[in-house]
């Protein structure tokens, strides 16, 4: 039940930002900051359902707050918190992770009570020193550390909080907190999803599942090994009843499903021997976000990734992660590194092995070392270039993130090349010749999202297309997981199916079949009909087009089968036929 008195709307009738305050367990309250229309978050483009930033208050004899909110809630979050607890009576602020969507109001809270003791990982406390610019009381904790809040005087319940480190989920600073009294596990980013709703809990798993998966793919998948490590650590807690996430509905009614999802997806991504080590420098420029975009691309190509924070990893760990990797991706670093960072960079370079694939990207920090100097240095060490140096000349926008993701996918394909060839050779020849007799039409799928600098576009040749419903009209398109356009084809996204015409398709076929470098304009030199469809560009030379919106996605081993409703369509020549694609074998399109 929603208590409407507890919801503060910032603007009447335009609920772009609002707050929700609910009890979620004994002596435990959540304040959820509801950001209804956030359309982009980190590298996860095209959020359709907004997001939330969840914080919590636990009252024993002493009082702890877990995480704050995004600074865009500065006007309202503190006011609502003060209604729940006198700030002078807050003893502890548990900081699960220092990214600004959770730590944006720490300074505001310390303004009200500078005696609050911050409980966080050592790395988080270091990060906070740069964020809050004032002295604060703190205790650094590790896995196994406990915090007793004592007994709540009104009901005699004793709150004992136990911590575990959960590095890389999603920064190296992350901790989980488990309250033994309520059996609530607080995980911040991990197990979260960007889905804004007044529903406090996961009572409609089917509605939130696509966003839960997308969030995992973008933020957690690149750290699959760390996810498995965290899952192992939380097994020690007896019967978790609720996972109080930092984003989206809290997880309570389908815990087994969500935990199994994380375990299965992460095991899948951690299989195999080779991996790409994607190095980044936490809290330097846009290094973190850019490294994630590369990692997402590598994962899409079904290759393994290990994100490595150069600043937070110790020398031995750094050396072995780099030395054992099949590919290493290196960021530019500041011209004036501190001695600790300098030493870590030295360790990273010394650990490189000849013939590893390497890629270099700009961090867009304040004062990056020239990227060409670093690229030349790597070449001189005998490294093979996995992708051309990725340059960033302005604050990273959607196009730059798309370029980085595509570079990652290219590198992932390089890493998997031998395995994929071996797979094809292992297929039963007769069976695959028989599969090759499955034929389809020829189409170009196009998709476009955002405007101006945030505009992202994609296109691909498709032939695995089929009508799937009469009323309402619907169709399916199979999209390989490593296709660049796949990121633009999530549930709720739009696309256009351009139908190619028999005897008139060659130019378009050649254009869209070729391999594009990361970030390249797929439509250069192609005539388009302006604003004909909502989903993406319509090709002048197509026989027909269908404007589609995606309803569902079904996962197979290497493709997503995308079911979409067709909202609009037009044909240019009633007498013409669709181009048909005949194949010889079923091992390729």
Task: Return residues touching ligand FEO (CB under 6 A).
Answer: 97, 99, 101-102, 170, 189, 246-247
Give 63 or 165: the residue with its C-beta nearer to ligand FEO: 165
Give 101 or 482: the residue with its C-beta nearer to ligand FEO: 101
Give how far the C-alpha of residue 45 lies from the chain's centroid of Cα atoms, to the nearest Å. 9
Q: Which candidate, 271, 290, 536, 584, places its Cα nearest to that of 434?
A: 584
Three-state SS sequence of 497-554: EEECECCCCHHHHHHHHCCCCCCCCCCCCCCEECCCCCCCCEECCCCEEEEEEEEEEE
Asked if 301 and 274 count as a contact pair (C-beta separation under 8 A), the reply is no
Asked if 91 and 116 count as a contact pair (C-beta separation under 8 A), the reply is yes
Give 208 or 301: the residue with its C-beta nearer to ligand FEO: 208
DSSP 387: S
DSSP 217: I
Distance of closest approach, residue 190 Cβ to ligand FEO, in angstroms? 10
Q: Which residue's CB atom is positioned nearest to ligand FEO? A: 99
Distance of closest approach, residue 101 Cβ to ligand FEO, in angstroms? 4
Three-state SS sequence of 325-348: CCEEEEECCECCCCHHHHHHHHHH
Rg (CA), the chain: 25
Could you tell me whether strands 327-331 and 357-361 are parallel, antiparallel, or unpaired per DSSP bridges?
Answer: parallel
Asked if 444 and 461 count as a contact pair (C-beta separation under 8 A), the reply is yes
Distance of closest approach, residue 403 Cβ to ligand FEO, in angstroms? 22
Q: Burial of 154 by CB count in 10 Å (0-12 exposed, 13-18 middle, 19+ buried)? A: exposed
Distance of closest approach, residue 146 Cβ to ligand FEO, in angstroms? 25
Give 208 or 546: the residue with its C-beta nearer to ligand FEO: 208
Give how far the C-alpha of residue 433 lies from the chain's centroid of Cα atoms, to the nearest Å. 39
Distance of closest approach, residue 392 Cβ to ligand FEO, in angstroms? 21
Distance of closest approach, residue 103 Cβ to ligand FEO, in angstroms? 9
Give 247 or 581: the residue with its C-beta nearer to ligand FEO: 247
Give 101 or 217: the residue with its C-beta nearer to ligand FEO: 101
Distance of closest approach, residue 41 Cβ to ligand FEO, in angstroms? 8
Asked if 189 and 292 count as a contact pair (C-beta separation under 8 A), the reply is no
The Cα–Cα gap between 126 and 558 comes to: 42
Give 168 or 266: the residue with its C-beta nearer to ligand FEO: 168
Strands (E), 284-340: 305-309, 327-331
Q: Burial of 216 by CB count in 10 Å (0-12 exposed, 13-18 middle, 19+ buried)? A: buried
Distance of closest approach, residue 139 Cβ to ligand FEO, in angstroms? 22
Tokens of 179: 């309250």
Give 53 or 387: the residue with its C-beta nearer to ligand FEO: 53
Q: Which candidate, 403, 222, 221, 198, places its Cα nearest to that of 309?
A: 222
Could you tell me the sign of the dihedral formed by the alpha carbons of 85, 184, 263, 275, in that order?
positive
Give 38 or 522: the residue with its C-beta nearer to ligand FEO: 38
Give 249 or 474: the residue with its C-beta nearer to ligand FEO: 249
Tokens of 403: 């370029």
Give 101 or 362: the residue with its C-beta nearer to ligand FEO: 101
Give 99 or 410: the residue with its C-beta nearer to ligand FEO: 99
Please report, for residues 99, 133, 286, 366, 503, the alpha-carbon distance to residue 171 in angstroms, rounded to integers and kept in the order given.
8, 21, 13, 21, 53
């Amino acid at each position: 039940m929603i208590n409407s008195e507890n919801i503060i709307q910032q603007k009447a009738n335009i609920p772009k930002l609002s707050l929700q305050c609910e009890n979620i367990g004994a002596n435990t309250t959540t304040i959820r900051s509801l950001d209804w229309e956030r359309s982009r978050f980190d590298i996860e483009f095209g959020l359709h359902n907004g997001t939330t930033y969840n914080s919590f208050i636990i009252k024993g004899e002493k009082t702890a707050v877990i995480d704050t909110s995004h600074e865009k809630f500065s006007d309202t979050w503190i006011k609502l918190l003060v209604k729940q607890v006198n700030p002078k009576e807050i003893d502890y602020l548990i900081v699960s992770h220092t990214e600004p969507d959770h730590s944006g109001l720490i300074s505001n809270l310390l303004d009200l009570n500078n005696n609050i003791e911050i409980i966080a990982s050592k790395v988080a406390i270091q990060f906070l020193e740069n964020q809050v610019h004032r002295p604060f009381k703190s205790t650094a904790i590790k896995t196994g550390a406990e915090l007793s809040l004592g007994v709540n005087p009104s009901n005699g319940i004793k709150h004992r909080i136990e911590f575990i480190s959960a590095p890389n989920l999603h920064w190296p600073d992350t901790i989980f907190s488990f309250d033994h009294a309520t059996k609530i596990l607080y995980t911040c980013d991990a197990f979260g999803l960007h889905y804004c709703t007044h529903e406090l809990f996961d009572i409609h798993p089917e509605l939130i599942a696509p966003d839960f998966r997308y969030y995992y793919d973008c933020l957690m998948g690149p750290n699959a090994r760390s996810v498995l490590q965290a899952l192992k650590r939380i097994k020690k807690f007896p019967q978790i009843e609720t996972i109080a996430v930092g984003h989206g509905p809290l997880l309570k009614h389908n815990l087994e499903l969500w935990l199994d999802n994380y375990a299965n997806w992460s095991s899948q991504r951690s299989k195999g021997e080779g991996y790409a080590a994607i190095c980044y420098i936490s809290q330097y420029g846009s290094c973190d976000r850019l490294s994630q975009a590369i990692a997402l691309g590598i994962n899409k190509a079904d290759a393994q990734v290990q994100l490595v924070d150069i600043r937070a990893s110790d020398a031995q760990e750094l050396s072995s992660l780099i030395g054992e990797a099949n590919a290493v991706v290196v960021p530019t670093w500041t011209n004036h590194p501190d001695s600790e960072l300098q030493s870590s960079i030295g360790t990273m370079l010394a650990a490189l092995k000849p013939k590893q694939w390497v890629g270099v990207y700009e961090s867009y920090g304040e004062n990056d070392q020239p990227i060409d100097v670093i690229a030349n240095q790597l070449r001189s060490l005998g490294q093979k270039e996995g992708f051309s140096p990725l340059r960033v000349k302005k604050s990273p926008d959607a196009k730059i993130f798309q370029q980085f993701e595509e570079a990652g996918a290219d590198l992932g394909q390089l890493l998997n090349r031998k395995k994929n060839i071996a797979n094809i050779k292992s297929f039963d020849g007769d069976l695959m010749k028989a599969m090759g007799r499955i034929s389809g039409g020829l189409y170009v799928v196009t998709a476009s999202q955002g405007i101006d600098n945030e505009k992202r576009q994609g296109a691909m040749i498709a032939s695995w297309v089929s009508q799937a419903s009469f009323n309402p009209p619907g169709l399916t398109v199979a999209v390989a997981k490593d296709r660049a356009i796949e990121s633009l084809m999530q549930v709720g996204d739009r696309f256009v199916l351009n139908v190619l015409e028999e005897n008139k398709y060659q130019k378009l076929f050649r254009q869209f079949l070729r391999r594009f470098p990361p970030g390249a304009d797929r439509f250069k030199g192609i005539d388009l009909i302006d604003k004909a469809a909502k989903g993406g560009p319509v090709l002048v030379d197509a026989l027909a087009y269908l404007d589609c919106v995606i309803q569902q996605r079904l996962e197979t081993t290497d493709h997503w089968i995308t079911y979409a409703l067709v909202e609009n369509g037009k044909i240019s020549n009633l007498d013409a036929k669709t181009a048909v694609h005949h194949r010889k074998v079923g091992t390729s399109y």
